[in-house]
């Protein structure tokens, strides 16, 4: 289940969801990533995971809560887009 608010996304579970999305849909479709040996892929994925965690910590620590609250409607709109794109991609794979 996707986090409903930006605050939930910044929590540990939200970072895991973003990491999974990046790995599954973005990184896996980059030819340069596919050309890496297994150890290289592991290093790239580890670095991306660490950077996402540090970014989430920095945002939740240094960005005022009022700014995060103001971004919630934009986050909701992005979630709707992601859900629609995922549904369409799944539908195309099934059919």
- Segment 17-68, tens digit of pLDDT: 777 777 777 777 788 888 989 999 889 888 888 888 888 788 878 888 888 8
Domain range for 15 is 6-94
Give the span between the Cα atoms of 74 and 76, in whole angstroms.
Answer: 5
55 or 1, which is more confident: 55
CA distances from 39 to 32, 33, 36, 89 (A): 14, 11, 8, 29
Give pLDDT, residue 3.
Answer: 65
Residue 31 in domain: yes
Closest C-alpha to 65, from 6, 11, 2: 6
Residue 32 in domain: yes
Give the span between the Cα atoms of 3 and 45, in whole angstroms.
Answer: 22
Give pLDDT, residue 11.
Answer: 67
Residue 1 in domain: no
Give pLDDT, residue 39.
Answer: 94
Whole-structure pTM value: 0.61
* Count of domains forming the chain: 1
Mean pLDDT for 75-92 is: 76
Give pLDDT, residue 71.
Answer: 84
19: exposed, middle or buried (Cβ count in 10 Å: 0-12, 13-18, 19+): middle
């Amino acid at each position: 289940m996707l986090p409903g608010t930006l605050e939930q996304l910044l929590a540990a579970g939200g970072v895991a969801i973003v990491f999974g999305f990046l790995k599954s849909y973005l990184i896996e479709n980059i030819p340069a990533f596919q050309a890496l040996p297994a150890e290289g892929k592991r290093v790239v994925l580890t670095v991306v995971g660490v950077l996402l965690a540090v970014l989430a910590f920095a945002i939740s620590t240094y960005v005022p809560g009022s700014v995060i609250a103001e971004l919630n409607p934009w986050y909701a709109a992005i979630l709707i887009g992601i859900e629609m794109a995922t549904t369409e991609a799944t539908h195309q794979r099934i059919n």
